[in-house]
Structure 1
Amino acid sequence: MILLGIDPGSRLTGFGVIDVSSVTPRYVASGCIRINATTLAQKLAQVYAGVAEVIAQHAPGEMAIEQVFMSKNADSALKLGQARGTAIVCAANHGLDVHEYAARRIKQVVTGNGGADKTQVQHMVQSTLRLSGLPQADAADALAIALTHFFTCRGALAIPTPARSTRQRSSSWRDYRP
């Protein structure tokens, strides 16, 4: 099973792809969808096209994405929410289950500290996936989101709050027991 993690943004949308078909997750790909359009509609179209391209290239079975968080700047939060919604619609249109995780929970799962900074997340993603170098910050966040979904569903960590899912399948990789 391939998992896709998305760190949405209106300028950069990070993506991370991991293979979870074995006991330990394996790095497949990561990067950023760079948004360079000028109008909101064009920016959202670029987010959609970029996520669709990643889905077509890697054929993930599920997608995990960061939940909306409160921001001091309402305009920024609204733009982030629109980019996030676009990525969710893209995944749903491609038949993927979509799971949402709070930023604090992602940091807790990946680093053990819900208040971790981006550098700590990058280092733990690098270590967990045995990468030769630090991934770019937005790509590291997306990989952390995918890892959070993997660890949460595998029960590797006892975290009390379950992920919200927009759609349920009757069978899933989570049902697999080695």
Structure 2
Amino acid sequence: MTKITFMGTPMTLIGKEVKVGDKAPDFTVLNQGLEPVTLSDYDGKVKIISVIPSIDTGVCSQQTRKFNEEASSLENTVILTISVDLPFAQKKWCDTEGLPNVTTLSDHRDLSFGEAYGVVIEELRLLTRAVFVLNSDNRVVHAEYVGEVTDHPDYETAITKAKETE
């Protein structure tokens, strides 16, 4: 299992680690309108799944903005930002930041995504920082669990994998 720290303190991840080559597990999260969303809602598209602890913090905000700016020109690709923030908080952040088209999804209800992808931090009930790239057939082509939750992910590698997958 992947080892992570939060501000230097070791944390425990709950769920099954997802690896390159795996069939991506399904999940149910909520969109900003409180409607359920599943992986199959994005069938046929390449998916960059940007996982963050909380959208209203510095690194998480930068990560959300960066992936959406960098990947906006990719063909047949969606960027999904998933956290346990309430959908209302995600919508407020998008409106305040002037990014109304960012797809934010909330896993606050039952941690369906977090447990399926092994990203729930047991001690904090937050999701750890991670990035997954799935091809149009929902195979994992890139998986990064960031070792220190307060660090940035490897944006370049994730974007490159998505471009190679298009």
Higher helix share: 1
Higher strand share: 2
Q: Report the TM-score when normalising by structure 1.
A: 0.31
Q: Whose radius of gyration is greater, 1 or 2?
A: 1
Identify the structure with bigger relative contact order (alpha carbons < 8 Å, sequence gap 6+).
2
